[in-house]
Amino acid sequence: MIVLAAAMLMAGSAAGPVAPSQERNALGRCLSNFVHQKLMDKMDAAAFRAAAKVGCANEQTAFRNAWVAYDVAMKTRRSEAEQNADGQIEDYLQNSTDTYVSTTNPPAPRSASPSPVTPASSTTPPHP
């Protein structure tokens, strides 16, 4: 009797779906490699983003499919699961684009504009 109850408990507590970490890592690696490959091209942000979408399309598709399947298995509506996956992919693309732009276009150094010098006579009261 105890063995039957334990077996039923173990069967009922089977592991749930596992998040698609392999696909997520593959997408991240692809985009990271893409950033490094395109550093010398000096593209603007829009051109880089468009190229990254094409360059990592297989990884994006694999991640999207795996994430939607995971989310649906977690009882999320398919339309919401698709939006979740698309949002995550957009985040990855935006982060990669930001990294690329900041690496290829470092911020201009702040110019050291001279401080206006006020003559001491105009700020110091006269001595009697």
Q: Mind giving me the DSSP string for 16-45?
A: -----HHHHHHHHHHHHHHHHHTGGG---H
Gap between the Cα atoms of 96 and 49, Å rounded? 8
The structure tokens listed for 119 are 């003559």
pLDDT the model gives residue 5? 45
Reduced to 3 states (helix: H, G, I; strand: E, B; else coil), residue 110 is: coil
pLDDT of residue 18: 86
> What are the pLDDT digits (tens) for 71-120?
999 999 999 999 999 999 999 999 999 999 998 876 666 665 555 555 55
Please state the pTM of the whole predicted model.
0.70
What's residue 16's pLDDT?
80
Place of tokens 């997408």: 27
Q: Dmax of the chain from CA atoms?
A: 108
Q: What is the pLDDT of residues 7-47, one digit of tens each?
A: 444 444 557 888 889 999 999 999 999 999 998 988 999 99
